[in-house]
Amino acid sequence: MSIQYDLHTHSTASDGTLPPADLVQAAAAAGVDVMALTDHDTLDGLDEARQMAEQQGLRLIPGVEISVTWQGAAVHILGLNVNSECEALQQGLVGLREYRDWRAEEIGRRLDKKGIGGAFEAACALSTGKLVSRTHFARFLVAEGYARDVREVFRKYLVQGKPGHVPGKWAALEDAVGWILQAQGTAVIAHPARYNMTRSKLRKLIAAFKEAGGRGLEVVSGSHSKDEYFTMARHAKDFGLLSSAGSDFHDPKNPWIALGKLPPLPPGCNPVWRDFS
Ligand code: AMP
Ligand code: MN
Ligand code: MN
Ligand code: MN
C-alpha cells in the first residue's frame, strides 16, 4: 500500500468545523498516514493535533497557511514542517491576526450599512473566539437565508466589489516565506490555480516566490480540477519546484474532496514530502 498524504487541512483553530483532535481522528480513519494541519494564520491547533496523532499512529506535519497580499491579490502560502516554537513565525502571525480582528469588525460595519445587523457578533460566536474568517460570516449569512450555500454567499457578499468585502492588507510574500524559512519549514504556494490570475501573472508570482526561498507548489488540491493538476505540475517542473498535495479540508458536511481520497501526483513530480524524512 502506498503512503497517503494530505498536507492541507483546517480545524476550529481557524475556519474548519472539526476540533484538531477530531480532525486527526477522521483523517486516520479515512486512511491518511501523513497529515499537515495548516490553519489560517495560527499555530494554535497543533498541540492538540499532535497528541491525537500520537495516539492514532498518524504522522502530523506541523503547518500553517499564511495570508499574503501580492500585487493586490490575496495569495495563500503554506508553511509545512515548521518549528512551531519559532519566534519570528509566531510574531508574524500575531500581526496577521491583529489585522484579521480589525477586518472582521470592518466587515460587520459594512454589512450593517447594507441592513444586515449583528454579523460581527454572530461570526465571532461561530468561531472559537480567537480567529474570525470570512467563512464564519458566510456560515451566518447562509443560516439567515441570505444565500443558499457558502459559495453563493461569497459571490454575493464577500468578494471584491461586494458589500462585505474589505481589501486585504496581509503579509508581504517575502516576509511570509522568510518566517517559514526561519522556522526551518518548507514554503508552498497553496491552490495556485484558484487565484484567477493569467498564466503570465501566475508565473510572475511563482518566480517571485522562488526568489524569496519558496520550494513548492500545491499541485493536487481539493479546489483544483484534474486539468489543473497537470497545468500546475508543469509549472512546478518549469521552475524546479517540489509538488504538494492537500485536500484543503474544512467541513465534513461540505468537503471539496473527502479526507483520504486525494489522487496521486501526476507522473514526473518531485513530492514535497521528500523534504520531511
Ligand atoms: P479569509 O482568510 O478570512 O479571507 O477567508 C478565506 C477563506 O474563505 C478561505 O480559506 C476559504 O475557506 C473560504 N472561501 C474563500 N472563497 C470561497 C468561496 N468562493 N467559497 C467557499 N469558501 C470560500
Ligand atoms: Mn479557509
Ligand atoms: Mn487557502
Ligand atoms: Mn486552506
> Ligand 2 centroid to 1 CA: how many Å?
31
Contact 190, 8 (CB under 8 A): yes
Q: How many CB atoms lie within 10 A of CB 31?
A: 12
The pLDDT of residue 168 is: 84
> Ligand 3 centroid to 183 CA: how many Å?
20
pLDDT tens digits along 23-63? 999 999 999 999 999 999 999 999 999 999 999 999 999 99
Amino acid at 160: Q
Mutation choice for ligand 1 from 77, 130, 135, CB with most ligand atoms inside 8 A: 135
Alpha helices in the chain (DSSP H): 20-29, 46-56, 87-113, 119-126, 134-143, 150-153, 173-182, 199-212, 226-238
Contact 81, 185 (CB under 8 A): yes
Is the CB–ligand 1 distance for residue 154 below 6 Å?
A: yes
pLDDT tens digits along 82-115? 999 999 999 999 999 999 999 999 999 999 999 9
CA 62 to chain CA centroid, nearest Å = 13
Is the CB–ligand 1 distance for residue 67 below 6 Å?
A: yes
Overall average pLDDT of the 217-246 stretch? 98
Contact 244, 266 (CB under 8 A): no
**In the beta sheet, which residues pair with residue 271?**
243
pLDDT tens digits along 153-211? 999 999 999 999 998 899 999 999 999 999 999 999 999 999 999 999 999 999 999 99
pLDDT tens digits along 115-169? 999 999 999 999 988 899 999 999 999 999 999 999 999 999 999 999 999 988 9
Degrees, nearest 5: CA angle 181-249-191: 55
The pLDDT of residue 254 is: 84
Per-residue CA distances from 209 to 5, 59, 267 (Å): 24, 28, 24
0.75 exceeded by the pTM?
yes
